[in-house]
């Protein structure tokens, strides 16, 4: 049975109602907190389906890449997004590098601290 989110216009509290398709639009919905009939259905999140190629192309947009070498935190954010988009486990080394970038460490310092980084072809 679908769940429909509502907000009470009187007490301003949110609540959800389980309605089957025949009931929706016909059954009276009342606030679970104050009993008011003055309620408004809220729209849930809207998601757009995009192909993997489209998602990866937007991440590789040259305007997003400009200046990353000078901004470790921005580089870490982009790396996390790429990792999330691929949906694959990127491994411990990836997590360590991203964590160091998020802490503000420069890529050059990370390379000095971890000279064997990516030696097995993981990164």
Q: What pLDDT, on the 0 to 100 scale, is given for residue 11?
A: 96
Least confident of 24-28, 77-81, 97-101: 77-81
| Residues 108-122: tens digit of each pLDDT | 888 888 877 766 554
**Residue 113 to residues 66, 73, 87, 93, 117: CA-CA distances in angstroms?**
25, 18, 28, 12, 9
Q: What pLDDT, on the 0 to 100 scale, is given for residue 34?
A: 96
Query: Are 14 and 5 within 8 A, CB to CB?
Result: yes
Q: What pLDDT, on the 0 to 100 scale, is given for residue 1?
A: 62
| Residues 27-80: tens digit of each pLDDT | 999 999 999 999 999 987 776 777 777 777 777 777 777 777 788 898 888 888
């Amino acid at each position: 049975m679908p769940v429909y989110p509502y907000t009470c216009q009187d007490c301003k509290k949110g609540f959800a109602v389980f309605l089957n398709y025949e009931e929706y639009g016909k059954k009276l919905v009342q606030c679970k907190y104050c009993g008011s009939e003055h309620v408004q259905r809220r729209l849930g999140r809207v998601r757009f389906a995009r192909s993997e190629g489209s998602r990866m192309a937007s991440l590789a947009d040259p305007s997003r890449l400009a200046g990353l070498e000078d901004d470790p935190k921005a580089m870490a954010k982009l790396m996390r997004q790429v990792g999330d988009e691929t949906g694959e486990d990127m491994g411990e080394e990836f997590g360590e590098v991203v964590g160091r970038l998020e802490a503000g460490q420069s890529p050059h310092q990370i390379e000095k601290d971890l000279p064997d980084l990516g030696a097995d072809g993981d990164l």
